[in-house]
Amino acid sequence: MAFIDRAAVTFDLWKTLIFEYGNKSNSSKRAELRTEYSLDALRDFGEPVDQDRFHKNFVDMAEEITVGHDSGTDAHFHKWVELGLSRIDPDLPYRIGGSGITHVGDAIDKAFLDCPPLLLEGSLEILNQVHSRGLLIGLITNTGMTSSSAFTAWFAELGLLPIFDHMVFSNDLAIAKPNHLIFDLTLEALGVIPQRVIHVGDNIHTDVAGAAAVGITTVWVSGSTQTDLPLAVKPDFTLQTILELLPIVDRWLGSLDR
């Protein structure tokens, strides 16, 4: 049930709140650890796999996942793990079974936790300030080869977990932004109507266009992006980093019927 007096801010994750070292879209070190830990996990099940073949296969699949997100599609985390293993050897997932797939998934998550991205300095304070304005906070993220369990554990370490009133991960739902369903489900869980939500994200297509399509006010985190080309969808607000967010939130709040 949606309550007309509630309001919320929803956030994207990658390149909005968290970043790779050197602003790289993928961490090569994490990919190396993912391969190392996963091969150890497979050896536990008596399945030696060529290192280069595993590494290339899962790097390619991570890119495939990102491409799928643009059309609003995803799969459950362990389904991606199973698919990746089947591309190495079609019978491999059957030989190791569900417990083996889970074991490899745990290894992939361990690589993330041992080599995490960076939380933007100052963003935790911004989130707390947003909460102090009586606003609910949601997270809507398109995830790659990392489970929601790993993100949740990492958020707990950072002190982020208590801030979010609801979190949605694309590889839990097997749908991704800009699919309207991922926004609809988040708003339903928060108990808010689209007209009283503002979404903050870096991707014009998945974040801005996706949120705007369901009637949500949008904030584009442009980062260092500079372009003279017209945007496919015009955001309601634009900033470089979320450290500039509070004046926008206050202005937006002032426009609502409280």
Return the structure tokens found at 167.
């979190």
Mean pLDDT of 130-136: 96
Answer yes or no: is 3 within a domain: no
Cα–Cα distance for residue pair 217/226, rounded to 1 Å: 22
Beta-ladder partners of 154: none
| Domain identity same for 63 and 78 | yes
- The answer on 14 and 34 residing in a single domain is no
Give residue 232's pLDDT band: very low, low, confident or very high (50, 70, 90). Answer: confident
Q: Do 131 and 232 have their domain in common?
A: yes
Structurally, how many domains does the chain consist of? 2
Distance CA 156, CA 84 (A): 29
Q: Is 157 exposed, middle or buried (0-12, 13-18, 19+ CB in 10 A)?
A: exposed
pLDDT digit string, tens, across residues 77-87:
999 999 999 99
Please check whether residue 138 is in contact with residue 11, taking contact to mean a CB–CB distance below 8 angstroms: yes
pLDDT at position 143: 92
Q: Does 192 lie in the same domain as 238?
A: yes
* Same domain assignment for residues 188 and 250: yes
Cα torsion angle, 153, 154, 159, 160, sign: negative
Residue 32 has pLDDT above 90, yes or no: yes
Per DSSP, what are the bridge partners of residue 141? 169
Tell me the one-letter amino acid at 14: W
Q: Are residues 99 and 136 in the same domain?
A: no
pLDDT at residue 24 in the model: 55
pLDDT reading at 228 higher than 80: no
- Are residues 133 and 88 located together in one domain of the fold? no
Same domain for 14 and 84, yes or no, is no
For position 233, what pLDDT does the model report? 84
Indicate if the pLDDT at residue 168 is higher than 80: yes
On whether both 47 and 75 belong to a single domain, the answer is: yes
Residue 182, domain extent = 8-20+118-142+177-255
Rounded Cα–Cα distance for residues 42 and 233 (Å): 45
12 with 59, same domain? no
- Do 13 and 135 lie in one domain? The reply is yes
What percentage of the chain carries pLDDT values higher than 90? Answer: 86
Supply the pLDDT for residue 3. 57
Nearest CA-CA partner of 62 in 21, 101, 31, 103: 31
Judge if 44 and 109 occupy the same domain.
yes
Which one, of 198, 182, 160, lies nearest residue 8 by Cα?
A: 198
Is residue 52 scored above 90 in pLDDT?
A: yes
**Domain annotation covers residue 208:** yes
- Give me the mean pLDDT over the 129-158 stretch: 96
